Structure 1
Amino acid sequence: MAARNSEALDVFLKVAADSRVSWRAVELAGRGISADAAGVVWVISKGKHSLSGEELSDLLMKQGDLVDSLSEVWRSFDSGELSSADFEDQLEAVVLGLEEWIQRASR
């Protein structure tokens, strides 16, 4: 049975399982999974109860932009349009963005 919880999780699992990526990319995928999971837990346990609909919507749209970037970075790498080094740099930027997103959201 495949886990299909989120688009971000799907991409991070593909990264972690791909033999073309570096161990650094696998580490970044793990950090991304953790950040994505922390975001889901925060939204369910606190965000829905502590923010107005508009505030929560704005935060989720920012998260969605990061996930869109992640999907595009993976698509570009997987299709050969992006080198391994560029992929790793862009993956790191997305993961850092997700980590910063959850830190800002949970304040």
Structure 2
Amino acid sequence: MAARNSEALDVFLRVAADSRVSWRTVELAGRGISADAASVTWVISEGKDSLSGEELSDLLIEQSDLVDKLTESWRSFEIEEISGAEFEMHLERIVVGLEGWISRASQK
């Protein structure tokens, strides 16, 4: 399987490398990287074969919405519209959402 760079992975790596964020935020970024990798693996190894196109599309749209929130939150933090603590709260909700996405997708 070839490596793939995703928008989510790019943001999570930027978060983990940023000296302005807390260690808790770095931990959340690591969990996000794991969730992103698990989702890619699931889509390639199971999702494409086990779901109809419509079911898979619905799941991917849900995941895309979470990635959009991630990107927007990171942008807001970078331009100082939100604080580090606010970004951490947003990031935690997004990461928990991505981890939940994996659980829901695997149960279909």
User: 1:4: Cα distance to partner?
Assistant: 6.3
User: 1:83: Cα distance to partner?
Assistant: 0.6
Deviation per residue, 1:37-87 (Å, 9 max, x gap): 000000000000000000000000000000000000000001100011100
SS in 2 for 1:9: helix
* Counterpart for residue 106 of structure 1: 106
SS in 1 for 2:82: coil
CA distance in structure 2 between the aligned counterparts of 1:16 and 1:31, rounded to whole angstroms: 11
Name the amino acid aligned to 2:81.
E
CA distance in structure 2 between the aligned counterparts of 1:80 and 1:103, rounded to whole angstroms: 33
* Counterpart for residue 74 of structure 1: 74
* Counterpart for residue 42 of structure 1: 42
CA distance in structure 2 between the aligned counterparts of 1:35 and 1:14, rounded to whole angstroms: 16
- Over aligned residue pairs, what C-alpha RMSD do you find? 1.0
CA distance in structure 1 between the aligned counterparts of 2:10 and 2:47, rounded to whole angstroms: 23
TM-score, normalised with respect to structure 2: 0.95
Given that residues 66 and 97 in structure 1 are in contact (C-alpha distance below 8 angstroms), is that contact kept between their aligned partners in structure 2? yes
Q: Which runs of 4+ in 1 moved over 3 A?
A: none
Consecutive unaligned residues in structure 1, runs of 5 or more: none
Question: Aligned pair count?
Answer: 105
SS in 2 for 1:20: coil
TM-score, normalised with respect to structure 1: 0.96
User: 1:36: Cα distance to partner?
Assistant: 0.4
Consecutive unaligned residues in structure 2, runs of 5 or more: none
* Counterpart for residue 91 of structure 2: 91
* Counterpart for residue 16 of structure 2: 16
CA distance in structure 2 between the aligned counterparts of 1:10 and 1:99, rounded to whole angstroms: 17
